[in-house]
Structure 1
Amino acid sequence: MKQFIVFLFAISVMACSGGGDPAPAPIPQPPTINVADLVKKVWSASSAQWDGVAKYDKSSTSNVVQGYSQYKLDLSTAGSVKLTEFDGKVFTGNYSVATDGKTLTLSSLTSAEGAPTGTGGTITFTILTTPTATTLSLQQTAAYVKASSAIVKLALVNP
């Protein structure tokens, strides 16, 4: 009789235990970063370089190109851009962010005087690092006539 009770106890313990290890808890995946959402702000210049030479730093009082103090890149409306260049000229057009989040393209840029000099209405930037809520780092993919035909690198901020 004791053997029968021990046998029943062993069977009930095995039945309650599920017969094996419980399934491991799922590992939470990091959230997907949507660069198109992160850039959707109004940006101003914190610093600017032309071919690696500093031309503007917001914290400096002796800038080579003081006009960057008025530079604005307004991407706050999805797909629409308003660009205020360092020379004060304002252009409107469209923008898009590549699906890989590494390229920002401003297109159909125009103003009363036409497109920005030498661009045909399109300026393309490489997004150098993943944008944050307050910073955006860009580098033009082609030399820019208005910047002495240099490659422009911008550190932008959203106050």
Structure 2
Amino acid sequence: MKLSFLVVSTLIGFTAFAQEAPRRSQLKFRSVNDTSFFRIVNGIVVNNDYKITAYNSVQYIRDKSDLTKLGIKTDKPIMLVNIEGFKIEDQVDSVLYSDPEFISKFTYPLNYQLPIALDGKLVLLENKDRLLSNVSLNKIERIEYQSSKRSEVFSDKTPFGVINVILKKND
């Protein structure tokens, strides 16, 4: 009798825990369109009106000391969202991340997505399809990293810097 009571009690406990687990995990999920966060999508700061429809990964930074280390001035926690990129973005990343000089100078975690600029003009998320669809490695003269501190043009929109892709000139 004691053994059957113990077995039944254990099963009830496991069942209650299993039913409670989904509810707990749902409480932790935040929408990628939650404007209570300072949102950075593929390395570009987006405004509250920007709607994200699909994404690959999300990372949250809530700790004030971490925000200070990143040099981002905001009272909100940060949401880093990575969305699907083009093949050329992966290729450009591979070239840049294989450069020991870049690795030694880059002060942020290597999993932070960096946006791309073409010939010094930032490729905004809404223009990405049109601007990057025809770019290939054989059309690139050089790839350089510009930190947000070094580039006044992009500093407000790209807190981790930008990958500037210099295209070959047509002769």
More strand by share: 1
**TM-score, normalized by length of structure 1?**
0.24
**TM-score, normalized by length of structure 2?**
0.23
More helix by share: 2
